[in-house]
Structure formats: C-alpha cells, structure tokens
Copies of this chain bind each other. A is one copy, B any other.
Amino acid sequence: MEVTRKNYKDCLNTVYSAIEEADFLAIDGEFSGISDGPNVSALTNGLDTPEERYTKLKKHSMDFLLFQFGLCTFKYDQAKSKYITKPFNFYIFPKPFNRTSPDIKFICQSSSIDFLASQGFDFNKVFCHGIPYLNQEEEAQLREQTEERRNQHANGVGTPSFISPSSSKGSSHVPEEHKDFINKVVEKVEALMVNSEKTLDLEPCTGECCLKPCLCSGGLAWFPKGLHVETVETEKKERYIQISKVDEEERKRREQQKLEKEQEELNDAVGFSRVIHAISKSGKLVVGHNMLLDVMHTIHQFYCPLPEDIQDFKEVTMCVFPRLLDTKLMASTQPFKELITNTSLAELEKQLKESPFKSPQVETAEGFPSYDTAQEQLHEAGYDAYITGLCFIAMANYLGSFLTPPKAYISARSKLIEPFFNKLFLMRIIDIPYLNITGPDLQPKRDHVLYVTFPKEWKTSDLYQLFSAFGNIQVSWIDDTSAFVSLSQTDQVQIAMNTSRYAESYKIQTYAEYIQGKQQEKEKQTTKTWGEDSWVKPHYTCSTTSGFGYSRYSCNECFTLHWEQVVGFFSHVKNVRLSCAGAESTPTLFEVPEVW
C-alpha cells in the first residue's frame, strides 16, 4: 500500500492494527545518499572497530534523507498454514510545519539519486506528497509552544497587543518604520467596532511581507473583547489577517474550534514518527537486511540525534527497536553460510527458493496490492521489506529441519532464532561480523596487523613492495596517507617493526599501539571540551509515555539440537571459542560468548 501525505491519516489505523496483530515486522529504508565524505571503500575499512564504523557512518551518512520507508507485517495463519502479509510503502518528506518550524536541509548524492531514478523511483511522490515527521524533542517543543499560546489566549484581555515576528529576537516593540502601518490597522479596527460590517480583511502579505512582520507572523494576538482574529490563507497561499465581530458565545466556539484544529495539526506534524512509535511500542521482532544504516537513520530522523558514544547508541536502539534481526548476518552465519554464495538481498531471495530451502507460503492480505517476486521491484522500500521478510521465514524454517522431529514452520518467537537477535551485520569488516546491540562487541586478535603511514603519493603497489619479504599481505586503506597491512604470520610483526625503525618516508605501529594512540587522543579531546567535572554522560531511558516501550514474549517451544550444529552456527569467526553450559544440547548453548 502506497502511503503519502494525502492518504496518511486514513491509513494510520490500518497500519496500527497490522503492527498489533503481526508475528514480526520487516523494514527497509531508501536514502538520498550514502556517504558525503570518503567513498564507500574508505567508509568501510576492513579493519574498522565497531566504534570506528559507527562514528564514520554517523559523520558521513546522517545528513542524507530517509525518504522512503518500507514496512511489511507478517501474521501467521495457523488454519491456512501460511503468513498473511501487509506491505506499506511510506513516502517521507520534512515539509515545514509552519513558519517557525525547523527548515531541514538534507544532502543528495547524485549517484544514489541516479540509481533510484533508474529503478523508477517517483521523486514527485516524495517531495510533493511526502509525510512529514518530528523527532521527540521537536514534538515536545511544538506541544509546549501550543500550550503556551493556549494559556495566552485564556488570559488574553483588553487592549491590542502585538507578539513579535517569528525571529527568536522578537519583542513586543513595534519598530518605528512599521508604526504607520500598525496605526492604520488600529484605525480600521476601531471603525469596525462601530460600523455595520461584520469582518475586516487586512491586505494579504505578498512580496512586501517583510514590512509588516508584526501582523503577518500571525502575531496580532488579541484585540478588544468581541473581536476574533484569525490568519487566513487564500488558495494562492497568500496569507492575510481577518478580524471579525463576534459575541462571547461565538467567540468561545471559534476558540474551541481553533484549539482542536491546532491539536490535529500538531498530530499531523508528528506525522510518520507515529508509525515508528507504534513499531517500537509493539516490541515485535523487526527484521531488516543489512539494516545498520536503516536503524541509524530511523533513530536519527524520528527519535533523536544519534549519540556520540556507541554504547549510548546501543541503549537508544534498544529503546526504539527492542528486538532486531538482520537477514544479511543470518545468511552469512552457519548453517546458511555454506549454502548461500551471495548474500545481497535479491540473490538471497532467489537462492532461498531453491533446495534445501523452501519458498515460504505467503498471501497478501485483502485490500493490499500484492507483490510478484518474479517482477523484482527492487529498491522500492515496501518491496524490499517484503522480500526481507520472506528470506527470514525461509531461513527460520530451514532451522526447523534440524529438530527431532523436524518442523516445517518455525515462529518468530522460537528460541532457535534467538542467537541472531540484536546483531547487526557489519559490511566488509574482515573479522567482526556484527555489531552486538545488547552486549560488548567481539574483540578479535589483530596481532598480525600493522598501522602504516606514508606520503600521499604512495599506491597499493608501494605497500606490496615494502612488505615483499613477508609473503602474502592484505592492505586496507584508511585514507590517502595511512593503511592497515595484515601480515600472514604474527611473528613477522616484530621483524617489520625493527626494520622500519630508521625509515623516514613511512612509519609503522602495531595495531595495539594504534588503538592506544586513538584512545589517548579521544581522552584528551574529551577533557578539553568538557572538563573532568562538567562531563555528564547522557543516559537514554525507554520512556513508556513517549510511545517507545519494550515488551517481552515468552516462548514455550521445545527442541533439541546437535552440538555440531551449534558449533557450526558460529564458525564464521576464526578461532571461535564457545562457552558451553554442559555436554547435553540445550538452548543455553546458543549464548554467544561475549569476548571471542
């Protein structure tokens, strides 16, 4: 179902009930770009730490706009033995709510835009009919403003008073050059009080609007009792002020009407964020494919600016999405790793239709346009969310084949899939497959890695030449003048360090030295900016009133699983050490050791 500003309000209850009844949800986002800094290969260094990757994505990806959000809900129908799906494709655009609301700027990357254009993306739907949104803080501010205005109205009596223009520098002073204009209005209003007219329309604000800020900001707050003041917009978007004579009852009725309208406008302004609130509040499993950027953008745009610290990011992620599953990580992990050669969404979806996997049984709910996977409407967020859900079902069901007896259907609440919860795939990191949202990250040994700095003229071949004595090496570029070089044997590190000691054109550090240096740099900066005393670490809590809550499901399923299978699940990381609760195969075996 396509959802734009035009049909958004009518669809909202349909969206809410689809989320409420679902067994799990799948999401996907389309953005106006990926990186405003380095190219993608530099953005995704193979030896990034999770923290470094988070910091880079936050710095170089968050100024793009998430302008299409796909949500597909999946509800299992026991009788039909199939999933009923409800796909939604939301178009998002930060249309300014009013003249004082934030005027969002976002970046577009021409390659991304061109790619979406080639896929038939409809930009007019985004820019002309996108659903607006506010993050938590903007919403709170707006509610406060409305409340204040309401109180002003409740107390407003007596002589004309002018609230100043929208600028934060406003005051109740009327600048000299506008006094003439204001005095004329006062004269007209005084005439209205005694003549037989019912209303007085002031001149509309056109190009000369800057000359009349006191009135045009809608700030002509309160006139003598018996007068109602309203800003009216013509069809041509011209705004003018209308002053009407009304009796007390009529005045109150109009005020009430106005307040209700304000309340509705406020909800409209919160817009798409309400859908994210509902997803969050439901506590349902949210499935995505390679979803780190989707999660970051969703939080950044609809909840709060991303925190500096990765630990804080993990906390806030758990507030917004209490349970996540990344199908790209799942497909890259045993037992799927050996069976799936290409984990890109389109290829994954194709491969999961073939043996040993089974195409999931799904049916689109009545009233929803159904997607045909043979048509490949890739990169429409709603379609991508839909096939992400299909991939999840196929993989989850495949896990059921290991049970004794085998099960053909594995629910989204099964303990079998718990090992994959809250682990977000990390693109192109050699030895850390995922960001662990609910615990510390993996800390692979990088004893064989060197951090090398050199003149900016150097190329990969210069590095190969420098290390030619050490056999196979792997180069991961950081920027123009530095790279990681992975040696094949750890004991070569000391030799490399020794030989480099007197080099002038380049410099080598061990990975440990590099990390230590970075840490010191960070501490220095923190102290500089905040001072030891003034530093208060922000703490993210899940506010239930805000709509972002967390509810748990219990699981009553029983199953047995072979030890070999468990080891297989995690064998994608070199030197895996599994902590094991006992010799018997029990679910506790799935606990992922926190440090590998």
Complex Cα gap A176–B33 (Å): 32
Please judge, given known A-B contacts A173-B464, A464-B173, whether A95 and B110 are in contact too, CB under 8 Å: yes
Q: Is A2 an interface residue (CB 8 A)?
A: no
Instruction: Contact check, A344 vs B207: say whether CB atoms are below 8 A apart.
Output: yes
Contact of A110 among B104, B428, B474 (CB under 8 A): B104
Number of residues from A at the complex interface, CB < 8 A: 61
- In the complex, what residue of chain B is closest to A177 when comparing beta carbons? B474
Q: Is A369 an interface residue (CB 8 A)?
A: no
Within the complex, the shortest CB–CB distance from A94 to chain B, in Å, comes to: 5
Instruction: Contact check, A347 vs B207: say whether CB atoms are below 8 A apart.
Output: yes
Mask, A81-120, CB within 8 Å of B = 1, is 0000000000001111000000111111111011011100
Contact of A170 among B103, B104, B459 (CB under 8 A): B459
20 contacts between A and B (CB under 8 A): A32-B108, A33-B105, A36-B105, A41-B167, A103-B111, A104-B110, A105-B107, A105-B110, A106-B108, A116-B127, A122-B124, A123-B126, A123-B127, A169-B460, A171-B461, A171-B462, A176-B473, A177-B474, A206-B342, A210-B428
- Cβ–Cβ < 8 Å partners of A475 in chain B: 175
Contact of A171 among B104, B124, B459 (CB under 8 A): B459
Q: Is A472 an interface residue (CB 8 A)?
A: yes
- Cβ–Cβ < 8 Å partners of A207 in chain B: 342-344, 346-347
The 3 A-B residue pairs with the shortest CB-CB distance, nearest first, are A207-B344, A171-B461, A117-B128
Contact of A96 among B36, B93, B110 (CB under 8 A): B110
Known: A207-B344, A210-B428. 5 other contacts (CB 8 A): A33-B105, A65-B108, A94-B110, A108-B108, A177-B474
- Cβ–Cβ < 8 Å partners of A473 in chain B: 176
Complex Cα gap A65–B107 (Å): 10
For window 444-464 of A, CB contacts with B under 8 Å fall at 459-462, 464
Instruction: Contact check, B474 vs A176: say whether CB atoms are below 8 A apart.
Output: yes
Instruction: Contact check, B124 vs A461: say whether CB atoms are below 8 A apart.
Output: no
Contact of A127 among B103, B113, B167, B175 (CB under 8 A): B113
Q: Is A590 an interface residue (CB 8 A)?
A: no
For window 462-487 of A, CB contacts with B under 8 Å fall at 462, 464, 472-475, 477
Q: Is A237 an interface residue (CB 8 A)?
A: yes
- Cβ–Cβ < 8 Å partners of A93 in chain B: 110, 113-114
Instruction: Contact check, B103 vs A106: say whether CB atoms are below 8 A apart.
Output: no
Within the complex, the shortest CB–CB distance from A326 to chain B, in Å, comes to: 16
For window 347-377 of A, CB contacts with B under 8 Å fall at 347
- Cβ–Cβ < 8 Å partners of A525 in chain B: none
